[in-house]
Structure 1
Amino acid sequence: MQVFDLCLQPLVTHLQDTHGLDRHNPALTGLMDLLTQHGTDAMAQAFAATLNIAMRLEREQHLGAAEHERSADRTGYANGFSPKQLDTPAGRVTVAVPKTRPVPGRGESFEPFFPQALERGSRACRAVNATLAAMYVQGVSTRDVKAVMTELGLENITSAQVSRATAELDEELRAWRGRPLGTVERLILDARYEKVREGGVVRDVAVLTAVGILPNGSRSVLGISVALSEAEVHWRDFLDSLVARGMRGVELVNSDDHAGLAEARKAVLPAVPWQRCQFHLANNAIHHAPTAATCEKIGKQLGQVWNAPARAEADRRLADLIDEHEPKSPRLAKWLGKNVPEGLTVFAFPPAQRKKLRTSNGIERPIQQELKRRTRKIRVFPNAESLLRLCSALLVEIDDDWQASTRRYLPASEEVAR
């Protein structure tokens, strides 16, 4: 009776306490009779019946009136039910989700009803599916998966359910990766490498990621792709997929100098200016410095260029920096003159947005560090699909957190315009 103790008994008690349903209520009486006559064999039916009761009562609260009750204060009417399948600790069940319709003439203020239990369940199922996916990725056997689920109180997980959960997760993630996009004012691109076993050979594959800054200043994970390399064709396919999904209005692309990205960006977003990440530029400059003494000061000197009040002053400071290093470090001076201007595009944008736009840290820290933390223990993925599955599941959670947050990464465009 563990499932009943964990799931049904608290829900029945809640119905009795909250809605005044006593033990002689027909709905609860029928539920208890079902359990009495059939025991644990009827657990799935009992779970569905209890959840149906809770959802119907919640609909009554939402509408401000019981079924068939005459009330001038009701906010809408009951409108039947729609079936929905759920994977629960008692197995797969079909529940009847209550529907509503507005009171004639009050459609503008009507709020459609959806049970809170299913909203919470969607999140919980995603967490379980992500766990199953992670275990699958690491080569955990079905028997071990069932053992882990048993420890969580999910004793009825079968091999078919594990396979179904993985397939459902893949479908959900595929839909998320292909969801429609809209206006994206700032586009941040990045890549990292993971090891994948393909055809019996371990290969390094690129995980391409894209984050967008929307007109209201919030961040959104736009997409992810797993490619054999950072070659132009792969970056171009990735950018083409974002455009095909409706991405428009891009005013700035921010990234490091990834192989193949420059040509792909020019082909897909030819009129969009590019801001090369200043953080990576400074690190690259240090690697080009010929002596330890130059390494120590080149970062501070570039910081003075980055922090100039305007583009003209930044250009002047860069010219002075090149002149200083030209006599003793001509190769460094040449590198500075060719590469540093690519990090000054940000001066064409509002001062209130420059600090966040001059690097790609908006994607590096929350995304790349989390991907690294979750993938480093795996070391070698069995295939590219498993890598894409795990990375996509992590990015969905990051994106959900961003969408739920009231904080904005940048001031909204209309605020800057004012």
Structure 2
Amino acid sequence: MTENYRERLPARPAADTTPLVPEGALDAVMERVRAEGAELLGADGLLTQLTKAVLERALAEELTDHLGYEKGDPAGAGSGNSRNGVTPKRVHTGVGTVDVDAPRDRNGSFEPRIVPKGTSRLEGFDDKIIALYARGMTVRDVAAHLAEIYGVEVSHDLISRVTDGVLDELAAWRSRPLDAVYPIIFIDALNVKIRDGHVANRPAYLAVGVDLDGRKHVLGIWIGDSDGEGAKYWLGVLTELRNRGVQDVLIVCCDGLRGLPDAIEATWPAATVQTCVVHLLRASHRYVTWNDRKQVAKELRPVYAAVDAQAAEAALDEFEAGIGARYPAVVSLWRSSWEQFIPFLDYPPEARRVIYTTNMIESINRQLRKVTKNRGHFPNEQAALKLLYLAVRNITTNRGGPQGTGTIGWKRCLNQLAVRYPGRLPLT
């Protein structure tokens, strides 16, 4: 997500396939488990006991390394420091809560690394909390899940502190450098409920850029006001993208957000504004009775499937003379959006499928709605941004890794863009 299209991830070193536990080493333990019907999981389960034994052994080895001599070794006499018993410590791990006897030294200079002082969670436990939160669970849900599955009692304040730990990462992500050129940027919005004196729907805007390799990247997330946005707001958003390195965009596809076309022209004067056809169709259905929707959709298809703008206009005239006569608001909607609707008609079908709709960003929005619908509302804007960022990070990791997800038919589309926008795509 955060990588530019020229950058590639470093090659991973070859994995060591040698097992940490030799084959047969656990045979006796597993035989006892079968014979006695012992549990593998739970507070007294085998995994918990093994985790406790491994942690205590590792802590003992760390103390030996710190002191410089083995336990009981006469060489430690007169060394100036020695072992000084143990301190009970409760540690949250991926297999549950483990009570560990952490060794001490007499001078108090021992600083364990595997379970640091003042830490009650092993590395990876915080990641488990964040992963649950990123899937839309509330703080209460996360606490209940950890208690039910792992037997770990975690306070709501702790979960909030752990998830707040990604705020610095969010800030860095929102200010990261971007590519100089994106052939296409898609802008769309979804609504989230935020309490700001009172609970209200607020638009969360996403910008998704398609790089020269056809990889899709979420460039940023912004929370708008409940009463809508204008050209001034959008100019600030697009100026932010430009300041982060985006010098040129060939096509910006959006759904007719108020003030956005003017802001695009002011930021990237040579960019083409393309209205999302799917949004035009949906907006048209607002004015159409349920019984007529299928027919209206069928009669509008010749408009957006026309071979060129002239044929599209003739198809719209035909629609207006037919069923469109009953729905003048639909005709007015298409005519008022005409200049931003027709640019994609200059392209062949394989390129049109990439350009004319914000479906690719809506697929992200659908997944974001899944993680936000469980929330009655967010306490503030920052909480909403935090969850949306975690969800975007989770989507990208699962679907395409840091390089983003690909675009079907991209090479054909890129060839068309190179011909229609000569000199504006980098050669390398």
One of 373, 392, 395 as aligned partner of 2:392: 395
SS in structure 1 at match of 2:247: coil
Give the 3 Å change call, closer, same or farther, for CA 48–257 of structure 1 in structure 2.
farther
Identify the match of residue 197 of structure 1 among 195, 198, 201: 195
Go from structure 1 to structure 2 and tell me whether the alpha carbon gap of 1:321 and 1:160 turns closer, same or farther (over 3 Å shift). Answer: closer
Deviation at 1:395, TM superposition (A): 0.9
Cα offset for 1:344?
1.8
2:305 is matched with which residue: 291, 304, 307?
307
* One-letter amino acid matched to 2:319: L
Deviations 1:167-217 (A, max 9, x none): 322222222222221132111111122211113x11221111111111111
CA displacement, residues 135-187 of structure 1 (integer Å, 9 cap, x when unaligned): 8x8453xxx85564344448486778545422322222222222221132111
Partner of 1:239: 238
Bigger fraction of residues in helix: 1
Q: C-alpha distance in 1, partners of 2:262/2:112?
A: 52
- 1:339 maps to which residue? 337
Aligned counterpart, 1:256:
255
* More divergent stretch after superposition (126-135 vs 376-385): 126-135
Match in the other structure for 1:353 = 351
Residue correspondence of structure 1 range 258-297 to structure 2 within 5 A: 258-288=257-287, 295-297=293-295
Q: How does 1:15-414 map to 2 (within 5 A)?
A: 15-17=20-22, 89=94, 94=113, 126-132=127-133, 138=138, 140=140, 148-153=145-150, 155=152, 162-182=159-179, 183-199=181-197, 201-229=198-226, 230-232=228-230, 233-288=232-287, 295-324=293-322, 332-364=330-362, 366-404=363-401, 407-412=406-411
- Supply the AA of the counterpart residue of 1:17: P
Amino acid at match of 2:387: L
SS at structure 1 position matched to 2:165: helix
Aligned CA distance change for structure 1 residues 328 and 208 (closer, same or farther; 3 Å): closer
CA contact (8 A) 1:353 1:410 kept: yes
- Return the offset for 1:255: 1.2
| Helix, strand or coil at the partner of 1:380 | coil
1: distance between equivalents of 2:414 and 2:339?
28
Whole-angstrom CA distance in 2 between matches of 1:184 and 1:372: 26
Compared with structure 1, are the counterparts of its residues 146 and 301 closer, same or farther at alpha carbon in structure 2 (3 Å cutoff)?
A: closer
Question: 1:271 and 1:16 mapped to 2: Cα distance?
Answer: 62
Q: Secondary structure at the match of 1:238?
A: helix
Q: Does the Cα contact within 8 Å between 1:126 and 1:169 map onto a contact in 2?
A: no
User: 1:185, 1:252 within 8 Å by CA — same for their partners in 2?
Assistant: yes
Partner residue of 2:36?
none
* Cα drift, residue 223 of structure 1: 1.2
The answer (yes or no) to whether the contact 1:210–1:224 under 8 Å persists in 2 is yes
Q: What is the letter of the counterpart of residue 298 of structure 2?
A: K
Secondary structure of residue in 2 paired with 1:223? strand
For structure 2, the 5+ residue unaligned runs are 1-17, 26-49, 63-91, 99-110, 115-122, 420-428
C-alpha spacing 1:381/1:284, structure 2 compared with 1 (3 Å): same
Q: Secondary structure at the match of 1:250?
A: strand
2-side partners of 1:231 and 1:315: how far apart?
31
> Percent same amino acid at aligned positions?
26
In structure 1, the partner of 2:88 is: none
Amino acid at match of 2:242: V
CA contact (8 A) 2:248 2:271 kept: no
2-side partners of 1:145 and 1:330: how far apart? Answer: 51
Instruction: Measure, in 2, the Cα distance between the counterparts of 1:139 and 1:406.
Output: 30
Q: Give the Cα–Cα distance (whole angstroms) in 1 for the partners of residues 175 and 61 of structure 2.
A: 36
- The DSSP-based 3-state class of the residue aligned with 2:270 is coil
Cα deviation digits, residues 16-36 of structure 1 (max 9, x gap): 428x9xxxxxxxxxxxxxxxx
Q: 1:206-264 deviations in whole A, cap 9, x for unaligned? A: 11111111111121111111122431243333222222222233111111122332333
Q: Per chain length, whose mean CA-contact separation is higher, i.e. which structure has more relative contact order (CA < 8 Å, sep 6+)?
A: 2
Residue 46 of structure 1 deviates from its aligned partner by 5.0
User: TM-score if structure 2 supplies the norm length?
Assistant: 0.62
Q: Give the unaligned 5+ runs of structure 1.
A: 1-12, 21-38, 52-86, 96-120
- What is the CA-CA distance between 1:355 and the residue it aligns to? 1.4
Q: Counterpart of 1:396 in structure 2: which amino acid?
A: R
* 1:354 maps to amino acid: R
Q: Check 1:393–1:407 CA distance in 2 against 1; reply closer, same or farther (3 A cut).
A: same
Counterpart amino acid of residue 367 in structure 1: I
Q: Equivalents in 1 of 2:268, 2:56: separation in Å?
A: 55
Whole-angstrom CA distance in 2 between matches of 1:287 and 1:132: 36
1: CA distance, partners of 2:328 / 2:161: 62
One-letter code aligned to 2:378: F
